[in-house]
Each structure stands twice: as structure tokens, then as C-alpha cells.
Amino acid sequence: MIKEQIIAIKQELPPEVKLVAVSKFHPEEAIREAYAAGQRAFGENRPQEFAAKVEALKDLDLEWHFIGHLQTNKLKLVLPYAHLVQSVDSQHLLDAIQDWGKANDKVIRVLLELHIGAEETKQGFKEEEVRDILFRAEKYKNIRFCGLMGMASHTDCEEDIRADFARIADFRAYLQDLFPELADFKELSIGMSGDWKIALDYGATIVRIGTAIFGERQY
């Protein structure tokens, strides 16, 4: 089942688009099954679960993405192991990651999460905030800015989803023009189980897919 889903999705993904399999709430065995189907990149959104899975699966050659809200007192559960922290959503967190990176002599790869959905509650930066951070990018010696992440409005209205994705794609292009010195700033992580095919139309470089691979989550 998991294997078939991964193969089906991979067949439709352009080769340059990375599939991150979102394994949150699913057991270790599900990840092993996905691994057997060739999947290497996995995403988790809770620090404790992230760290536990990293430990339990360290016999496999995996690439871990952190995609959830990260409190600054949980950095040590995530930063030593994350290939990419996709969900940096506040100045406070960014500063804490910089401090941790400096103290541990490590450069942390991050995406800045842009608030694009209609929901008030969704986390993420406003456009002006992202731009202001990147103007000061040099200050963050232990952070590598790799691009943007966003979640479209939670809706069945394709037009609204397209509007959200167009906005983040345009903004990434604007930032790339404004900051040509940020050579690594190229990722656009948009698209989940319900909207990843739409996201491809807007230049997604990473899609984050959980339910369509592993089935419904039992919370």
C-alpha cells in the first residue's frame, strides 16, 4: 500500500522535485516500508517524535526534515539531525537557531515559512518580515537560507489555492532578484496530499505528502 502510493506519486513528480514523506503519527514500520520503496526524505512536526524516530531508524540512510512549530527549548532534539528545518516562523526562533548553531559550530539549513493561507491561526511570516530578515542575512553566520515554505488555505476551492501558491511563487522570484548573493535561496516547499499537483504548476521544488502515502493519521 505505502509502496504503491510512493511509486504512483513519484511517477507524476518531475525528477527535480523532492518528495518529503510526512510520517508524523505513523509508526517506525511505516517508514521502513517507505524506505524499502526507495523513499529517503521524511518529515516530522513534533520535536519529541522527530528525535525518537531519528534514533529508532538510525540504521537507515534517511534525510530528516522538520516541518512543525519549533519551540526554542526543543532545539537540541531537532537541529543536530535535521537536513532542513522547513518551518522557521518567527524572529525569536531564527535568533535561537543562530545562537545554537554558533555554540555547536554548525550551519543550519532553513526555509522561512510564509503565511499565505486564509486562516488567521496559521503560523508564518509576512512578506515584509521575510524581506527584512534577508536584508540582515549576513548577520546569521550559522544559518543557511534555502528558500520558502508555505501552506495554502484549507479549502476545496482550487482558485483560492492557486492564488496562495501564485503569491508565494512570485515572492520567491522577487527575493531571488533582490538577493542574488543568496545562492542557496531556491527551494519552494508547497503542496501537500490535497494540493501537490497544483503546487507543481507554481514551481514547487519540494512537496510534503503524508496522508496520500501513509493513510489517515490517528491522533
Ligand X SMILES: *Cc1c(COP(=O)(O)O)cnc(C)c1O
For ligand X, the binding residues (CB under 6 A) are: 22, 24, 45, 67-68, 151, 192-194, 208-212
18, three cell numbers: 523532492
Q: Going along 108-189, which residue ranges are E strands?
A: 108-114, 143-150, 187-189
Is 54 or 151 the residue whose CB approaches ligand X more closely? 151
Q: Is 129 helix (H, G, I), strand (E, B) or coil?
A: helix
| Residue 163 CB neighbours (<10 A) | 14
Query: Shortest distance, CB of residue 151 to ligand X, whole angstroms?
Result: 6
Query: Shortest distance, CB of residue 178 to ligand X, whole angstroms?
Result: 26
Residue nearest to ligand X (CB): 210
Nearest-angstrom CA–CA distance, 90 and 39: 31
Is 62 or 151 the residue whose CB approaches ligand X more closely? 151
Query: Shortest distance, CB of residue 214 to ligand X, whole angstroms?
Result: 8
38, three cell numbers: 526507495
Is 67 or 112 the residue whose CB approaches ligand X more closely? 67
Query: Shortest distance, CB of residue 206 to ligand X, whole angstroms?
Result: 10
Is 118 or 183 the residue whose CB approaches ligand X more closely? 118
**What would the DSSP string read from start to end of 74-97?**
GHHHHTTTEEEEEEE--HHHHHHH
